[in-house]
Structure 1
């Protein structure tokens, strides 16, 4: 008997437990197949993708790597100057409660992986900002582009890590698009069998910018003997705290504004030992409720996943333009904002 489709697994996964094998027609296999087919966007695997580009090449004005101000002739100014502390794209140094983050996720050339993967990135960013304004509800909308930076594969690759890394040229392109829109760029990590913190550290040159954060997809974090697309992966509160601690160190070292750390969760089994999660200075921890289905099913998933939230944890909500509408309809912004606690981060795939 064939396994359940990805949509079926995502609908029922919130109750916990491990799903059956996923058939090749599912969106999870489309992800692996698109990578294996060679979209011309992903590198082969670990060690083949350089993250060593100079931070100054992609730095926004006033961000790390920017040059010192100069006088009219190009020489240094005569008097002492006060360095302006880096801020978030639309001002300030704290994300919450001032802002609500709303946007699209995906990978260019891979329509099955999200809205961000189709069409011109600038047009998608403009669309994301329009959607973000529909979620304002007393807060300032802050558009967010969630780009897949590490993508889980169904094949092991040269290093056996079952993942590929998105080239710096692609990340740079989307960083510029986000910056031009005065939005955030979130780098999504689907680690395969790679160590999550290693994948985060590989993105350091991007993370020293004040407008770049991290999104983790632990359903693609595989243990020994597990293959992406066959079963849900998992993480725990200790590992999430380890990543938050690393980001906190970057924030302190570079005097950065608060940095978002999102982790998507489709089932209770995907994140264990949540009580071990410890907020870190300068890092906004956001638990994003994943899961496909009708508005009623998504509300049920939400209530299971936000029950007994640890202190200091913010909430997010994910919607799927196509899968949620299959046999039902997409939830409206009004319905999403009616959830309690009210989501502070909303992402469309």
Structure 2
């Protein structure tokens, strides 16, 4: 699973290099709109970006419905690992009331995912068909369509700032938001930090993350804490990194009286996420640990059991690769009917 994901990512690098000029455009156009969070060696945010305490967001109204849906997605697991006991989320929480079905990719590349591979109308029609399949497989859980856009892409070369990452221009994010409106989809902005950090990258996207329909994805695979170029080794995030991201989102929810945010964390090896027991759950943020590996069905299910099921955080996700899942023998795509039987049932499904 490890080498497969790396090869997929490496293939994508040259296709995004052509957009390298966008990094400068992004930075100049938005320098006055957002400030980078400064972090000391302890990971704490510096005074330059300190925010006053925000009021509490509105509480969840339907706690009974929440418990019923949580029991449904637990799928009868009796190990005690699931469901994870957390506080009820704030009002407007998507999970576990709906299952999110997301299309993933980047508009500059036809090889990074279905979102950028097909023309928008064709891509959205295909997404609607997947939504129908999931609704039929599990009529008890309504489906929320989503577009999951890689807003910061890891790069094979250092680029102008030496960070091995490329920020997409805001007009591309705007294009994805406009596509999403056509099918009542929510949007995820995904970050591959390279040699940058979440403290540098997340604040750059604040004007979008402050929107009620925009959520966040973070990818440990391309967090290169050892200073290597992305793609040389599998990267990693610690609980401290994930806690920074969830705290940032929680502050936005409280400050802007937003519905609960969803934070997707990609994972397909154990070292990709360290100190998982120290990851904090918050009423304002719903954390999805997302199985991001590709291969034959048995291999994918084993990855889910080893690295998602055994280290519970809050909710789970599962990725389907339209092409790469067919490269191994026996080659076929896992179906919604199979995945709704998994314990716990993934409530975030991503297609690439």
1:70-99 per-residue CA deviation (whole Å, 9 max, x = no partner) reads xxxxxxxxxxxxxxx9x9xxxx71112211
Q: What is the distance in 2 between the residues matched to 1:195 and 1:106?
A: 21
Q: What is the distance in 2 between the residues matched to 1:229 and 1:123?
A: 31
1:9 to 3, 6, 23: 3
Q: How many residues are aligned here?
A: 293
Structure 1 residue matching 2:263: 3-state secondary structure: strand
1:289 to 285, 288, 291: 291
The within-5 A match list for 1:1-349 is: 9-10=3-4, 26-36=7-17, 38-39=18-19, 42-44=22-24, 47-48=27-28, 50=30, 93-136=92-135, 137=138, 138-310=140-312, 313-326=314-327, 327=329, 328-349=331-352
Decide which moves more: 119-128 or 237-246. 119-128
Contact 1:46 1:164 in 2 (8 A): no
Contact 2:164 2:229 in 1 (8 A): yes
State the 1:134 CA deviation. Answer: 1.7
1:40-63 per-residue CA deviation (whole Å, 9 max, x = no partner) reads 784358734637679xxxxxxxxx
Q: What is the distance in 2 between the residues matched to 1:39 and 1:201?
A: 22
Compared with structure 1, are the counterparts of its residues 173 and 115 closer, same or farther at alpha carbon in structure 2 (3 Å cutoff)?
Answer: same
Q: What is the distance in 2 between the residues matched to 1:41 and 1:135?
A: 40
Contact 1:125 1:145 in 2 (8 A): no
1:272-322 per-residue CA deviation (whole Å, 9 max, x = no partner) reads 1000100122111000011111111111101001234345x1000011110
State the 1:219 CA deviation. Answer: 0.3
Compared with structure 1, are the counterparts of its residues 315 and 52 closer, same or farther at alpha carbon in structure 2 (3 Å cutoff)?
Answer: farther
Decide which moves more: 212-221 or 26-35. 26-35
State the 1:238 CA deviation. Answer: 1.6
Larger Rg: 1
Structure 2 residue matching 1:145: 3-state secondary structure: strand
Q: What is the distance in 2 between the residues matched to 1:129 and 1:41?
A: 34
Q: What is the distance in 2 between the residues matched to 1:44 and 1:165?
A: 9
State the 1:236 CA deviation. Answer: 1.2
Compared with structure 1, are the counterparts of its residues 45 and 197 closer, same or farther at alpha carbon in structure 2 (3 Å cutoff)?
Answer: farther
Contact 2:26 2:170 in 1 (8 A): no
Q: What is the distance in 1 between the residues matched to 2:99 and 2:184?
A: 14
User: Residue 74 of structure 1 aligns with which residue?
Assistant: none
Compared with structure 1, are the counterparts of its residues 51 and 113 closer, same or farther at alpha carbon in structure 2 (3 Å cutoff)?
Answer: farther
TM-score by length of 2: 0.78
Decide which moves more: 106-115 or 116-125. 116-125
The unaligned stretches of length 5 or more in structure 2 are 35-57, 61-90
Compared with structure 1, are the counterparts of its residues 293 and 214 closer, same or farther at alpha carbon in structure 2 (3 Å cutoff)?
Answer: same
TM-score by length of 1: 0.79
Q: What is the distance in 2 between the residues matched to 1:287 and 1:346?
A: 11
